[in-house]
Amino acid sequence: MLGNTLVGRYQIISHLGGGGFGETFVACDTQLPGSPQCVVKKLKPQANDPVTLETARRLFDTEAQVLYKLGTHDCIPQLLAYFEENAEFYLVQEFIEGHNLSQELTPGKILTQTEVISLLMEILEILKFVHQQNVIHRDVNPYNLLRRKSDRKLVLIDFGAVKQISSQVITPQGHTKSTVAIGTPGYLPGEQAQGNPKYSSDIYAVGIVALQALTGLPPEQLEKDADTNEIIWQSHTKVSPEFAQVLNKMVCYDFRQRYNSATEALQALKDLTQPAAKTVALIPALPFKNLPNPQLKKEILHKILAATFILGVSGAIGIFIIDGIHTNNATELYKQGNTLYDLQRYQDALAVYDKAVDIRPLYPQGWYGKGKTLAELKQYKEALTAYDKAIQILPDYVEAWSARGLALANLQRYQEAIASFDKALQLEGNSPEIWNAKGEALSSLKQYDNAIKAYDKSIEIQKNYEIAWENKGLALHNLKRYDDAITAYDKALELKPDDASFHYNRGNSLVNVGRYEDALKDYDRAVQYKSDYYQAWLSRSNILMSLRRYPEAVESFDQVIKSNPGNFQAWYSRGWALHQSQRYQQAIDSYNKAISLRRNDYQVWYNLGNSQFNLQKYEDAIASYNRAVRYKPDYYESWYSKGNALVNLKRYQDAIAAYAQAIKYKPDYQQAIEASKQAQNQLQAEKSKPLVIPIITIPNPLAPKQ
């Protein structure tokens, strides 16, 4: 092939690679100025009989049209041409200069959670477009993701559907059949291997890429659970429980349990990185955490009312919003964009702001409007670009500097966010909102003392700024200054008594100073003001367990599950409360639900075993204890409990071995030492029992009958 010119135009200059589906070459287009490089893919059908060729030809034409449509995306190579020559099919695509992702994900190299989330979001953004075109890629893996040299963006290549052309044969019954599964081993989910790919098959492959990046292990080295086929990976890396839950859902063995599309998976990741309600979760055995804080609140009600009045007309015409923008005046467009923004019609607002800056590129307000709209759409990188453009035109644009800081904070680039807020404060030092936003960024960096100073400055300017009081309380709580935190929450509640999060956070601080009954009252008020506030229900449940009010705790956990059915902690703790209420079978059911959500948690397996033990289901209990020590081999309590179950089955030798493991990991474990001695005594007693031979009386036939 080297040196050949296809269809009198594409001269082959080098060989890129090949396999069972065909070969790939670099060529130059001799009919364009400068003879630019392109990629030529040669696809050869499995057979050359007329029926197979005609089927391949139809499939080739269809898939080429799909590739042409996909190539309109910036991160998918453009299809330049396609043709057939000598019963072989050729695709000509844009040449992407760069390297594939496998060069970045080398064995042993481990990326951070933040880096992997960024990587996932970039891949899923491309796949989102692909899935929206009703296309399944089928072969997402590091070799099919190129890092483009010009802008460092990832480019998705080598769509698997085209490979069908090289793998289809015609059966004697006239049906088409693929001779080999399309995809790469390790990244290929079960349903796709069986020839039934789904959109979620691509999600599985992306998830495997993420696990590879987090653990430094290639897919074939990732252990799988023998019973469920789920991947056991968390022992090789450390990530947040929330991110682990997203990844486990991406790589779930059952495709029905995965995210259905790239859009869903992408949203789950965005939810991880977006500010949530400013609450501190109260969960057993877990530390308090300061969750990210929301953007500055906007009072838009009066604007909506004004816009409705302006745009509304009476009688038959009704109320409507002008969708057709017919003016070329940038200022008017900006005002119309503001109206749409205030009505939360963000896509419409964005289109109007875009038109405004197209007409007047040096219009800073237009760029600012575009930025704040993109931020509402959670497109923070794009928003940042718009704010930078506004600031470039108008360097002292306070609102743009402040909004830029918020966008950076949402991208978790907190130091840069603080620098932006500082610039805004140089221009307008008396803004309580900007001081508060700076405090939130400092809190995200765990610089709580500096954050408190920023909140104090905000409160000094505006004493009734309840959000700053709450944020100050959160920072004080994280410094374990619980009494001071309670005082701050008291002030926030004076200003806004019916705020559910204020009550919730004060309840958390009250717990830490041992005021459980007062904390319970705050949690009750929190769920009174916000009935689906599952974090408050969860904390309420935990307090009730601490007070040994187990039946009430179970009811409270039911409220958590009602609002958040996938909450592992609720199902797990509910099981524990049921166990304490001696409702062992219901506890087992609750633990099993928790296990379905987080299979690798050793504690839930251990507690499941305890409930089974109490129902004298010793074999089941032993199986559960085995799973617990599988996930945490040094969990001595599970070894000890396993020994107790074995004793009840009179398997003394096995029990002694289990007790030995418990003592190995906790040499001063007196209960295990005593239990082992007793088991040895019982084993010895079993061995020393005399063999009793039954005496069978044989009747004497000569004896006189009675």
Q: How far apart are CA 660 and CA 639, in angstroms?
A: 8
Which residue, 251, 216, 246, 213, is CA-closest to 232? 251
Residue 81 bridge partners (DSSP)? 92
pLDDT at 314 exceeding the cut of 70 = no
pLDDT digits (tens, 9 = 90+) for 516-569: 999 999 999 999 999 999 999 999 999 999 899 999 999 999 999 998 999 999
Q: How far apart are CA 140 and CA 308, in angstroms?
A: 48
Q: How far apart are CA 147 and CA 156, in angstroms?
A: 9
What confidence category does residue 690 fall into, taking pLDDT thresholds of 50, 70 and 90? low
Handedness of CA 624, 625, 628, 629 (dihedral sign): negative
What confidence category does residue 691 fall into, taking pLDDT thresholds of 50, 70 and 90? low
Share of the chain above pLDDT 70, in %: 86
Q: How far is CA 527 from the centre of its chain?
A: 27
In this prediction, residue 301 carries a pLDDT of: 37
Q: How far apart are CA 349 and CA 333, in angstroms?
A: 9
Cα 330 to Cα 168, 353, 534, distances in angstroms: 56, 8, 46
pLDDT at 206 exceeding the cut of 60 = yes
In this prediction, residue 228 carries a pLDDT of: 87
- Look-up of token digits 């300017």: 461
Strands of 145-148's sheet, edge to edge?
98-100, 145-148, 154-156
pLDDT digits (tens, 9 = 90+) for 153-199: 999 998 865 544 444 444 444 444 443 467 899 999 999 988 889 99
In this prediction, residue 255 carries a pLDDT of: 94
Q: Give one DSSP letter per residue of 440-470, joined into a string.
A: HHHHHTT-HHHHHHHHHHHHHH-TT-HHHHH
Side chain identity, residue 632 = K
Which residues touch 293 (CB under 8 Å, ≥6 apart)?
A: 275, 278, 440, 443, 444, 471
What confidence category does residue 46 fall into, taking pLDDT thresholds of 50, 70 and 90? low
Which residue, 7, 5, 12, is CA-closest to 95? 12
How many other C-beta atoms lie within 10 A of the C-beta of residue 514? Answer: 9
Q: Averaged over 690-703, what is the pLDDT? A: 55
What confidence category does residue 47 fall into, taking pLDDT thresholds of 50, 70 and 90? low
Share of the chain above pLDDT 90, in %: 71
Which is higher by pLDDT, 22 or 91?
Answer: 91
Give buried/exposed letters for 113-150 (b at 16+ CB in 10 A, else e): beebbbbbbebbbbbbbbbeeebbbbbbbbbbbbbeee
In this prediction, residue 694 carries a pLDDT of: 59
In this prediction, residue 414 carries a pLDDT of: 93
Strands of 88-94's sheet, edge to edge?
5-6, 10-19, 22-29, 37-43, 88-94, 79-85
Angle value at C-alpha 566, between 562 and 570, nearest 5 degrees: 70
Lowest mean pLDDT among 16-20, 267-271, 349-353, 622-626: 16-20
In this prediction, residue 692 carries a pLDDT of: 54
Q: Which domains does the chain have, with CATH numbers?
A: 5-94 (3.30.200.20), 98-273 (1.10.510.10), 279-290+462-547 (1.25.40.10), 291-445 (1.25.40.10), 599-689 (1.25.40.10)
Which is higher by pLDDT, 194 or 299?
Answer: 194
In this prediction, residue 693 carries a pLDDT of: 57
Which is higher by pLDDT, 291 or 32?
Answer: 32
Which residue, 520, 462, 528, is CA-closest to 495? 462
Q: Averaged over 447-455, what is the pLDDT? A: 96
In this prediction, residue 696 carries a pLDDT of: 56
Q: How far apart are CA 629 and CA 645, in angstroms?
A: 15
Angle value at C-alpha 29, between 24 and 30, nearest 5 degrees: 135
Long-range (24+ apart) CB contacts under 8 A made by 678-687 are 678/647, 679/643, 679/647, 679/652, 679/655, 680/652, 680/656, 682/647, 682/650, 682/652, 683/652, 683/653, 683/656, 686/650, 686/652
pLDDT digits (tens, 9 = 90+) for 672-687: 999 999 999 999 888 7
Q: Averaged over 301-329, what is the pLDDT? A: 38
In this prediction, residue 23 carries a pLDDT of: 86
Q: In this structure, what token pair is assigned to residue 96? A: 């992407």
pLDDT at 151 exceeding the cut of 90 = no
pLDDT digits (tens, 9 = 90+) for 557-587: 999 999 899 999 999 999 999 999 999 999 9
Lowest mean pLDDT among 40-54, 190-204, 360-374, 599-613: 40-54
Which is higher by pLDDT, 27 or 134?
Answer: 27
Q: In this structure, what token pair is assigned to residue 185? A: 């081993």
pLDDT at 419 exceeding the cut of 90 = yes
In this prediction, residue 531 carries a pLDDT of: 92
Q: Give one DSSP letter per residue of 329-362, joined into a string.
A: -HHHHHHHHHHHHHTT-HHHHHHHHHHHHHH-TT
pLDDT digits (tens, 9 = 90+) for 429-442: 999 999 999 999 99
Contact 218, 210 (CB under 8 A): no
How many other C-beta atoms lie within 10 A of the C-beta of residue 323? Answer: 10
In this prediction, residue 695 carries a pLDDT of: 58
In this prediction, residue 320 carries a pLDDT of: 34
Contact 572, 604 (CB under 8 A): yes
Q: How far apart are CA 286 and CA 257, in angstroms?
A: 27
pLDDT at 702 exceeding the cut of 90 = no
- Please state the pTM of the whole predicted model: 0.52
What confidence category does residue 271 fall into, taking pLDDT thresholds of 50, 70 and 90? confident
**Is 42 annotated as ligand-binding?**
yes
pLDDT digits (tens, 9 = 90+) for 331-355: 889 999 999 999 999 999 999 999 9
Catalytic annotation, residues: 139
Q: Averaged over 226-249, what is the pLDDT? A: 91
In this prediction, residue 706 carries a pLDDT of: 45
Which residues touch 432 (CB under 8 Å, ≥6 apart)?
A: 458, 459, 461, 462, 465, 468
Residue 147 bridge partners (DSSP)? 99, 154
Lowest mean pLDDT among 52-56, 478-482, 533-537, 559-563: 52-56
